[in-house]
A and B are shown apart, each in its own frame.
Chain A
Amino acid sequence: MTPAGIAMSIIFAIVFIGSAVGFRAGAGRKMNLEEWSIASRSFGLLFMWLLMAGEIYTTFAFLGASGWAYSRGGPALYIMAYITLGYVVSFYILPYIWELGRRHGLQTQSDFFEKRYQSKGLALLVSLVGVLFVIPYLQIQLTGLGIIVQVASFDQIPRNASMLIAVSIVAMFVSFGGMRSVAWVSVIKDLLMILAALSIGIYVPIHYFGGFSPLFRQLVVSHPTHLLMPGATKTMGHTWFVSTVLLSACGFYMWPHTFGAAFTAKSGDILRRNAIVTPLYTLSLVFILIAGFAALLIVPGLSNGDMSLLMLARKTFPAWFLGVIGGAGALTAMVPAAIILLTASTLFAKNVFRPLVAPQMSEDKVARLAKVTVLALALVSFGLALRSSTTLVALLLLGYAGVTQFFPGVVFGLFWPRVTSIAVTSGLLTGLVVVAALMLTHRDPFHGINAGFVALVLNFVVTVLVSFVSPARQNPFALMEEEEGATAI
C-alpha cells in the first residue's frame, strides 16, 4: 500500500472507532431535549473534565497553535496564557451559573439572559449573536479537517472533498448521538492527542537537534526575534498580548457551547474542582508550540503555517504514525464541531424559532427541529470554509471578539443586582458595533490593542452608565436571599 493509503486507512479507522464508541454510549437512553443537549445534568468530575477538555482542545489548539508558533512566533504564547486564565475566570462564575440553571431549569445561554433580565428581546439577540459567532469556530474545525486529509493523503484527496466527508460524518454523529456520545468520544480523542503532542514535541527536537536547548539555540541564531513578541508580526507586541489574553480569558466561557457545558455538571462543586484540574492539561500545548518552532527550521517556507505540524510529522514519522496523528487531529476537530453544532442548533430551535414562530411547540418538536438545524448550520460553515483563506487563529479571534461581548451581562447579572436589561442590551450592541466597525475597516489591532478588547471596555462602560440612569428592577436571580438579602451591592 502507498504511504497515503496507509495513513488514510488509519485515520478512517480512528474516526470509525471513535464514532462507534460514541453511539454505544448514547444507545438505550430516552432522547428528549434535556438528555440530547445537556445529558440530563448528570456529569461528574471525570466526564465534566472530558467534555471541557473536549471542547477547548480543538483542532485550533492542535494545528492553529503550532501554525502560529511557526508563522508568528512569540505572539502564539498568548494561547497558553488565555486558556489557563479562562479556567481561573470559570472558577468564579460557572458554579453560580450552574446553581441558577438548576433552580430555574435553564438549558442554554439565552435562557439565562431571558430569566435574569426578563426580556425576550435580549434573549433573542443573545441567541442570534451566539449562533452567528460560533460559525467561525465551526469553520476552524472543518478547515482543520481539510488540512489533515490533504496532508495525510499526500495531496491526493482535495481539501474540499475531505471537508464535505467530514461535515457529513459530524452532522450524522450529532443527530443520532447527543452530548453523552460526544463526551465519550472525547476519551479517545484526548488520549490520542496527548500521545501525538508528546511524540512530536519530544521526539522531533531530540531527533533533529539533540534536545530542546540546541533547537532553541539554533532558532535564536537563525531568527533572532522570532521567539519574542511581536515575533514575525509588526503589531502583536505586549499591549496586544495583554488585551488579547484578557479578552479571551473573559470570553472563554461566553461561547454558547462552553457556557452551556456548565449545565451538564452534577453539582457546582464539580465545576470548581474542574477549574483546579484542567489548567494542567494546558501543559500539552507546550509540546505543540515546540513542534511549531521546530517546524520553522525543518520544513521552512510553507505558505500556510497551519500545515506545519502535519508536514513536520509527514517528514519525520512513518506513514502509519502520520495516520495516528492525523486521526487524533480529526477527532480534535470532530468532537468540538459536534458540541458546537449541538448547542447552536438547540439555541436556534429553542430560543429563536420557538418564541418567534411557534410559541406552543412541544419540547419533542423542538428537539426534532434542532436536529434539522444541525444540517443547515453544518452546510453554512462548509460553504464559508470553502471560500475562506484566513488562518485558524484569526478566525478564533474574530469569534472571541463577538461572544465576549456577553461577559458584562453575565457577570453583572450574577453579582450586581442594580444592572438592568436595557443597560445590558445597549452595552452588547455598543460592543458589537465597535467590533464590526474596527474589524471591517481592518483596524485590528487598534493602536496595538485587540479590537475586541476595545469593544469590551466600551461595553462595560455603557452597561454601567445606563444601569444607573434606567429604573431599577427586582433581580429574579438573587444569589443571597438566605442571608444578606438583595440589598448588598
Chain B
Amino acid sequence: MRRPSIFSVAIGIVPFAGMCLSVSLWDRITPTVFGLPFNLFWLVLWIVLSSGCMALANLIEKSRRKDGGTTL
C-alpha cells in the first residue's frame, strides 16, 4: 500500500479551491442561474464537479496500483 500520488492529491485540492477558498468571488446573488442565486448555483455545480474530481483521482490511483503490484 502506497500513499496517494501527488497528482491525485492535487486533484483533491481543486474542489477546496472551488467551494471554499474562493468564497468571496462567488458569494453573490446575480446573475441567477436556473432561478437560483449565484452562490447557491455555484455550490450545486461544484458538488457535481467534486464527484468528477474524485472519479479522476480514483482512475489515477487505480493505474498506479496496477504498476506497483501492491495490495489494496
Binding site for B on A (CB under 8 A): 74, 77, 80-81, 84-85, 87-89, 91-92, 95-96, 99, 211-213, 215-216, 220, 227-229, 238, 241-242, 245-246, 249, 267-269, 272-273, 275-277, 279-280, 282-283, 286, 289, 414-415, 479-480, 482-484
Contact = CB atoms under 8 A, between A and B. Distances in A.
B37 to A, nearest CB: 5
Contact of B29 (A87, A212, A227, A242): A227
Interface string B29-55: 100101111011001101110110111
Contact of B47 (A91, A268, A280): A280
Interface residues of B, number: 41
Contact of B20 (A246, A286, A289): A246
A276 B43 contact: no
Interface string B1-44: 11110001100100110011101100111001011110110011
B19 A99 contact: no
B40 A91 contact: no
B20 A216 contact: no
Contacts of B3: 96, 414-415, 479-480
Contacts of A89: 12
B63 interface: no
A432 B37 CA distance: 38
B56 to A, nearest CB: 9
A38 B23 CA distance: 38
A242 B54 contact: no
A213 B35 contact: yes
Contacts of B8: 92
Given A84-B50, A87-B54, A286-B44, A96 B20 contact: no
Given A88-B16, A272-B61, A228 B29 contact: yes
Interface of B: 1-4, 8-9, 12, 15-16, 19-21, 23-24, 27-29, 32, 34-37, 39-40, 43-44, 46-48, 50-51, 53-55, 57-58, 61, 68, 70-72
A70 to B, nearest CB: 15
B51 A280 contact: yes
A216 B12 contact: no
Q: Per DSSP, are chain A's interface residues mostly helix, strand or loop, or mixed?
A: helix
B40 A273 contact: no
Most chain A beta-carbon neighbours within 10 Å: one of B16, B20, B53: B20
A212 B34 contact: yes
8 contacts: A77-B40, A81-B20, A84-B15, A85-B16, A216-B36, A275-B58, A479-B1, A482-B1
A99 B65 CA distance: 14
Contacts of B71: 99
B29 to A, nearest CB: 6
Interface core residue of B19, B34, B48, B58 (most chain A CB under 10 Å): B19
Contact of B72 (A87, A92, A268, A414): A268
Contacts of A415: 3
Nearest to A281: B47
A482 B70 contact: yes
Given A80-B43, A96-B3, A228-B39, 15 more contacts: A74-B27, A80-B47, A84-B50, A88-B53, A91-B57, A245-B19, A249-B16, A267-B72, A273-B58, A277-B51, A279-B54, A280-B47, A480-B3, A482-B1, A484-B2
Name the 4 nearest CB pairs between A and B, nearest first.
A212-B35, A213-B35, A276-B54, A81-B19
A212 B36 contact: yes
A228 B40 CA distance: 10
Given A92-B9, A238-B27, A85 B1 contact: no
A242 B35 contact: no
